[in-house]
Structure 1
């Protein structure tokens, strides 16, 4: 073998580029994926197939990584290595050698142990020769392995902040999709129609005005990855209904793999599933490619779906305040769902005798506070735990509202809708985004 290898040259260039950026590496950085792909090629180059029965059982680099503890029982091994290994072995989101190996590489970057597996393997020459052909591999070559080890040691100086929960498609691809976690208000019906396609629960439709449809959190084509912390990869039909029943009255914790990437393109592994979904659900509105999101949103107004893994344009301390008009309130009964917002706003603004009042709306860390504009005395105050929904009408975008219960909304039996008018449509949107983000900051007690 030559004294140089193109894969090592490529890997070195990627590492130097990562170090030169001098910032935390996240999933949105394409160089992270490029590094993982290149390292995987190195791990597979010259890899033998020991134990394979007539080539029917394909071995991958994960197989020797998983076997390392059996050959290092008399040698102290990094405890973080053992923890990462156990995490991947027990993960319900990766089921193949390829998926578990990729999950391990990402964990190794996070825990700064990317150099540990190779260093442990090379301590046992017989084990190295068992897995790698010295005439074709980098790992078993006397000169090239030293170069590889020095490069991986450099990588441990780089900080990685990767979403390890976003692992469900590592069996199929290195492409990391957009992954969103939402905390939705308690309800009996999310307002979604799903189909089970190739071990995935895909959204076929989202009902307008439903909890799931608020602010386009969930969209047709998205994939439910977790519900109440349980993986939905390969889940049986009826699993969602059972979990919803078991957690009735709880805030709904749901994680989804978005059908769109940050660049607006469709996540490639779901193309085939979308074709199946079209056949199974006649009303399915297939997602189309769209323009990437370029506009940055102030940190206090970011929804989880707006986060682009980048530094926001501002980081305001404390509360955010806005001068708005308080229109009126209307009692909406025993339910406080988002589907009541539009009707409530409409009934308020159609009243003949209304006296809008200029107020100061303050979005604090755990509360919404309405103050008299002149005296700054508090006139209304609601904790985010009391607020069941918020929104606005599509035909009157400067008007917005939120619905609050007389106590924590999970147990409240009486809800009131409070209607306001902002100075601009954009301001109304930012206020609503801030309220929605408040749900995520608040601890629920049920």
Structure 2
């Protein structure tokens, strides 16, 4: 009877479990972390440490040596996988880079080729003990490669941006992106612990507090593609200051895991954070809290692609002539209301460069306007303070164009009406300033 390795037997069971869940494997798959951990154990088994070196050797150092160019002097496809791993700024250790490499190879269905390349590179293979290593045992290599081929036929859809905790754990946190239109103040109180940027609290009235997308205890992982991993005190503030008045894309790592409990690698750090903010609750989410998290907004708001979308009433629009300044706004709103157009419930989505209005029932887009097109925005002074409107230049293609039209809507509350007006106004002003700077340069 041929000898068996318990690692390969366990890996086979795990691969079969992944297969049983379907061809698509995402980060939420309960068997993914176990499969990756078993692959890691196979690659570490029999890995010998250098005699005259204080640096601990891990399997990443072996793959790093495979970075070779093809006959034309270009990086090969496998070498590109290794190079992408090497330059990732969210990883600080050989363990983290090795794990990132395995996830990337699974996503690109390149793991069999990567291992084959290692097996055919003698100077690298010599790092493994012939007596212990699976990679240097002919009877074990064949079944191992067969399992890798099975994995290569699966479709792995893994979030490669969510990799900051691979240095510590195969279990990754919930990762989301928070899109912020240009605003005066995001409104976050930040604390730096172990090279990570935590949200200690939210400033009342700030954009983060208004949007309710961030929670104390969450981690700011990156801003507009700039990684904040291993940040020094104040580094996030410097990045935000440099981007003041610009649209922001903030990568957020949640302190709650997918099951509602605390993400385990954060427990000690969150306890330290709670000494500064005693209001930070670290217990499991209750049913009410889970429901609140799912909604995460007021009844007049909803989430769409990581952004707050306002649920408002579209009251109609009217042509107002050749002037679209703020001095004509109140009269323009009255003109819209006098037309008594049927109102409809719509979704107003304030994106980075433009806003859209979509019929909530039919999901048809009613209009789209870039911020530079908006000449003014404001609330109705009387008698209904929840009505707001903006003036926008008519499209040149519009038949019988008269210059400007006024679009009027009703928000769910006076406060929300003010929020929308401020966000649109700030975004329009920022776009105008950017256009002026671009023109001058």
TM-score, normalised to structure 2's length? 0.70
| Change in CA separation of 1:106 and 1:417 when aligned onto 2, cut-off 3 Å | farther
Question: Matched residues in 1 for 2:392 and 2:82: separation?
Answer: 46
1:38-437 paired onto structure 2 within 5 Å: 38-50=38-50, 53=53, 56-69=54-67, 79-125=76-122, 127-128=124-125, 130-279=126-275, 281-291=276-286, 302-304=303-305, 359-363=343-347, 367-368=356-357, 383=369, 385=371, 406=391, 418-420=409-411
Give, in angstroms, the shift of residue 214 of structure 1.
Answer: 3.3
The answer to which of 243-252 and 255-264 deviates more is: 243-252
Give, in angstroms, the shift of residue 265 of structure 1.
Answer: 0.9
Q: Counterpart in 1 of 2:380?
A: none
Question: Matched residues in 2 for 1:156 and 1:301: separation?
Answer: 38
What is the DSSP-based 3-state SS (H/G/I as helix, E as strand, rest coil) of the residue aligned with 1:104?
A: helix
Aligned-residue RMSD, C-alpha: 4.4
Question: Matched residues in 1 for 2:253 and 2:303: separation?
Answer: 19
Question: Matched residues in 2 for 1:323 and 1:282: separation?
Answer: 35
Give, in angstroms, the shift of residue 237 of structure 1.
Answer: 2.4
What is the DSSP-based 3-state SS (H/G/I as helix, E as strand, rest coil) of the residue aligned with 1:29?
A: coil
Give, in angstroms, the shift of residue 39 of structure 1.
Answer: 0.5
Query: Are 1:194 and 1:201, in contact at CA under 8 Å, matched by a contact in 2?
Result: yes
Cα distance per residue 1:76-119 (max 9 Å; x no partner): 99833111111111111001110000010111011110112221
Give structure 2 stretches of 5+ with no counterpart.
296-300, 317-324, 327-339, 350-354, 375-384, 394-405, 424-430, 435-441
Question: Matched residues in 2 for 1:404 and 1:245: separation?
Answer: 31
Give structure 1 stretches of 5+ with no counterpart.
307-319, 328-332, 335-355, 372-377, 388-399, 409-414, 423-427, 437-443
TM-score, normalised to structure 1's length? 0.69
| Change in CA separation of 1:270 and 1:61 when aligned onto 2, cut-off 3 Å | same
Q: Counterpart in 2 of 1:11?
A: 11
Give, in angstroms, the shift of residue 136 of structure 1.
Answer: 1.7
Cα distance per residue 1:281-325 (max 9 Å; x no partner): 24552343215858989xx9654569xxxxxxxxxxxxx9x9968
| Change in CA separation of 1:252 and 1:74 when aligned onto 2, cut-off 3 Å | closer
Cα distance per residue 1:112-144 (max 9 Å; x no partner): 10112221121234542x211122221111100
Query: Are 2:312 and 2:347, in contact at CA under 8 Å, matched by a contact in 1?
Result: no
Q: Counterpart in 1 of 2:22?
A: 22
Cα distance per residue 1:232-252 (max 9 Å; x no partner): 112222322322222222111
Cα distance per residue 1:21-76 (max 9 Å; x no partner): 324211111211111111011111111112552xx321100010101236x87899
What is the DSSP-based 3-state SS (H/G/I as helix, E as strand, rest coil) of the residue aligned with 1:131?
A: coil
Query: Are 1:185 and 1:252, in contact at CA under 8 Å, matched by a contact in 2?
Result: yes
Question: Matched residues in 2 for 1:296 and 1:192: separation?
Answer: 22
Cα distance per residue 1:242-288 (max 9 Å; x no partner): 22222222111111111011110111111111122123x24552343
| Change in CA separation of 1:102 and 1:417 when aligned onto 2, cut-off 3 Å | farther
Give, in angstroms, the shift of residue 383 of structure 1.
Answer: 3.6
What is the DSSP-based 3-state SS (H/G/I as helix, E as strand, rest coil) of the residue aligned with 2:199?
A: strand
Query: Are 1:24 and 1:161, in contact at CA under 8 Å, matched by a contact in 2?
Result: yes
What is the DSSP-based 3-state SS (H/G/I as helix, E as strand, rest coil) of the residue aligned with 1:62?
A: helix
| Change in CA separation of 1:77 and 1:357 when aligned onto 2, cut-off 3 Å | closer
Question: Matched residues in 1 for 2:371 and 2:2: separation?
Answer: 65
| Change in CA separation of 1:77 and 1:3 when aligned onto 2, cut-off 3 Å | farther
Query: Are 1:52 and 1:59, in contact at CA under 8 Å, matched by a contact in 2?
Result: no
Question: Matched residues in 2 for 1:75 and 1:39: separation?
Answer: 33
| Change in CA separation of 1:155 and 1:229 when aligned onto 2, cut-off 3 Å | same
Q: Counterpart in 2 of 1:412?
A: none
Q: Counterpart in 1 of 2:330?
A: none
Query: Are 2:314 and 2:408, in contact at CA under 8 Å, matched by a contact in 1?
Result: no
Give, in angstroms, the shift of residue 171 of structure 1.
Answer: 0.6
